[in-house]
Amino acid sequence: MQAQFPLAVETPEAALAAAPFGMFICDGNGTFQTVNAALEKLTGLSADELVGRRGFESLHDPAELARRRAELPCLAAIGARYEGEWTYRRRSGTPVRVVLALSPLSPPLPMSGAAARQPGEVLYVGVVVDMTRYAQSEARLWYLSHHDGVTRLPNQTLFTERLELTIARCQRSHSAFTVLIAELGHLRKLRDALGLHAAELVLQIVGERLRGLFPNDGTIASIGGSQFALLTNETGAAADAFAAEALGRIAEPIDYGGTALNIVASIGIVAYPDDGDDAATLMRRAGVALSAAAAVHGNAVRRFSTALEGQAARRFQIETMLREALQRQQLHLVYQPQVTLANGRIVQVETLLRWNHPQRGMISPAEFVPVAEESGLIEQIGEWVIRTACREAGKLLRQTGNLPRVAINVSPQQFQRADLFETIREALDDAALHPSYLEVEITEGALLGDTEQALHTLHALRDLGVEIAVDDFGTGYSSLAYLTRFPLNRLKIDRSFVTRMSGDPQCLALVGAIIAMAHALKLRVTAEGVETPEQAAQLQALGCDEAQGFWFSRPVTASGLRNLIGPLGAG
């Protein structure tokens, strides 16, 4: 290793004293005339033992100096500068690798003491740098740039390097391996609830648990955020068992000050060489598999497949087109009536979002709504739905003189926003629509997130006059506690229960129990997905209040709704 060190000095004695590295002045014979404290510390020899008594060559390892004598020129032969790497021997006999630089002390400068220059005498200045210290600093810098600061595990840079080395080895040996990416779920919520320390503690503990999977061979890394990458020589069923064990270790509760933290995770798996033969492809496809596992919303493992890659490409395409659709106003609303079973009158309509792409035609909400939720577009779309529904409802009311209540779905992400109430209030004011004409539909999961924020928003909406419904009841947590705590008006029974009622007595009994429970809590009940007269009759016999489905009406545009409510009237 070669290093460049400036030797120009204005005041030699001051320079020697201040230098952080070893420094000396010697005469033409190499005998020390002056040494600084740094050189004393480096060699273990005092100035009294060096100055006037020893030459600088005496510090060299004798065996190395004998072997490399020709590389060290005599002082008189040194022109402007000499620099080389050598081994010194300390007083204790231990070796130390140094860079030695020598240069004539020029131009002549006044010296004092032992280093005073005799007329015509040439003195030389030497610099001795302990390369061990610099090697340690370089090693420290390398470590910091290749390891995660929280878990102390290798980071993505180092993992990629090791992955590339493994690929090269397996190409020569025609062997295989597996890469897994594990992602912890809900870490952000944990951090918001308990603080950064709790989130970092979880990462550290999970990292240690996963490290324990590699007693002999393999690599684990923390690759940013809440993700870990694992490289194992296991393949096929053995790799699946390895992933299951990793998932089990992550899922073990973590004690945090007496609170048991339950961690969920998702794992994506790729196999070399079947799923890719280079590091970038393997990592990208592992991410594709991870996204598929995360979509399950719980501890899940997914292997990469070309079908998943096609779905990921389709999701990206949908997201790109959806952003364009928002700009070009390709989205529109339709309304599906909800009918009172006792008299057949339209009491409400549910607002449904539709997308008619100019080239691809109608794109199903089942396809684009999840993409909107994953990309964060759902909040922008949700606000557009609220404002558009209120505007169209206000126009219908002025045209027909009467209007059924309009129900709007609010996503969990949108419901968590503190400004949701203001958005709804402004939309009603802009449309000159009374709040009693509006109902907000939320899912059970939205009620079980930030409970205090949910309570505040719901009470504010109820005080304003907006009604509240729980959509898809029975498919989520179905906790009776929130039914009594939150200010609700209606439950909507999910279509999956309605569809199975006729052939499943237990399902029929469950629907009846939901209706009875809701009525006991003074909540109205609407059944979704009613497609046959038999289903309508069963629901009416069970005391269900309203029904919605193709048996009564398919979703209609705002102009179609005007034709329904204009001549017939609505209750």
DSSP string, 486-503: S---EEEE-HHHHHHTTT
**How crowded is residue 564: how many other Cβ atoms within 10 Å of its Cβ?**
18
- Rounded to whole angstroms, how far apart are CA atoms 191 and 372? 25
Task: Report which of 273, 294, 291 is spatially closest to residue 282, judged by C-alpha positions.
Answer: 273
Helix residue spans in 11-82 (DSSP H): 12-18, 37-43, 47-50, 62-67
For residues 152 and 252, state if they share a domain: yes
Please check whether residue 507 is in contact with residue 487, taking contact to mean a CB–CB distance below 8 angstroms.
Answer: no
For residues 415 and 550, state if they share a domain: yes
- Rounded to whole angstroms, how far apart are CA atoms 461 and 440? 9
- Rounded to whole angstroms, how far apart are CA atoms 170 and 231? 13
Q: Does residue 310 lie within any of the structural domains?
A: no
For residues 207 and 252, state if they share a domain: yes
Task: Report which of 262, 259, 275, 153 is spatially closest to residue 214, judged by C-alpha positions.
Answer: 153
Please check whether residue 409 is in contact with residue 378, taking contact to mean a CB–CB distance below 8 angstroms.
Answer: no
**How crowded is residue 233: how many other Cβ atoms within 10 Å of its Cβ?**
16
Number of domains making up the chain: 3
pLDDT at 401: 85
**Which residue positions in the chain have pLDDT lower than 50?**
1-10, 109, 113-114, 478, 568-571
- DSSP single-letter state for residue 253: -
Domain that residue 478 falls in? 326-568
Q: Does residue 439 lie within any of the structural domains?
A: yes
Q: Does residue 20 lie within any of the structural domains?
A: yes
Q: Specify the CATH number for the domain of residue 470.
A: 3.20.20.450
DSSP bridge pairs for 23: 127
For residues 443 and 480, state if they share a domain: yes
**How crowded is residue 368: how many other Cβ atoms within 10 Å of its Cβ?**
23
Examine the fold and report which residue of 71, 102, 137 is the final residue of a domain before the chain moves on.
Answer: 137
For residues 456 and 506, state if they share a domain: yes
For residues 251 and 118, state if they share a domain: no
Q: Which residues contact 91 (CB under 8 A, 6 or more apart)?
A: 43, 44, 45
What does the DSSP assignment read for 113-143? GGGPPPTT---EEEEEEEHHHHHHHHHHHHH
**How crowded is residue 40: how many other Cβ atoms within 10 Å of its Cβ?**
16
For residues 330 and 288, state if they share a domain: no
For residues 84 and 181, state if they share a domain: no
What does the DSSP assignment read for 270-300? EEETTT-SSHHHHHHHHHHHHHHHHTTSSSE
Q: Does residue 314 lie within any of the structural domains?
A: no
- Rounded to whole angstroms, how far apart are CA atoms 26 and 330? 85
Residue 294 tokens read as: 């995360």
- DSSP single-letter state for residue 262: P
- Rounded to whole angstroms, how far apart are CA atoms 178 and 115? 68
pTM > 0.75: no
What does the DSSP assignment read for 299-314? SEEEE--HHHHHHHHH
Q: Specify the CATH number for the domain of residue 85.
A: 3.30.450.20
Q: Does residue 545 lie within any of the structural domains?
A: yes
Q: Does residue 3 lie within any of the structural domains?
A: no
Task: Report which of 360, 411, 405, 361 is spatially closest to residue 381, judged by C-alpha positions.
Answer: 411
For residues 420 and 522, state if they share a domain: yes
Residue ranges with strand state E in 410-545: 438-443, 467-473, 490-493, 524-527
For residues 126 and 151, state if they share a domain: no
Q: Does residue 7 lie within any of the structural domains?
A: no
Pairing mode of beta strands 124-130, 95-104: antiparallel
Count Cβ atoms within 10 A of the Cβ of residue 310 and give its class: 0-12 exposed, 13-18 middle, 19 or more buried.
exposed
Q: Does residue 224 lie within any of the structural domains?
A: yes
For residues 353 and 262, state if they share a domain: no
Examine the fold and report which residue of 86, 107, 137 is the final residue of a domain before the chain moves on.
Answer: 137
- Rounded to whole angstroms, how far apart are CA atoms 151 and 550? 55
Q: Specify the CATH number for the domain of residue 258.
A: 3.30.70.270
What does the DSSP assignment read for 162-191? HHHHHHHHHHHHT--EEEEEEEESSHHHHH
Task: Report which of 156, 25, 45 is spatially closest to residue 90, judged by C-alpha positions.
Answer: 45
Task: Report which of 131, 98, 96, 119 is spatially closest to residue 24, judged by C-alpha positions.
Answer: 98
For residues 99 and 183, state if they share a domain: no
Examine the fold and report which residue of 119, 137, 155 is the final residue of a domain before the chain moves on.
Answer: 137
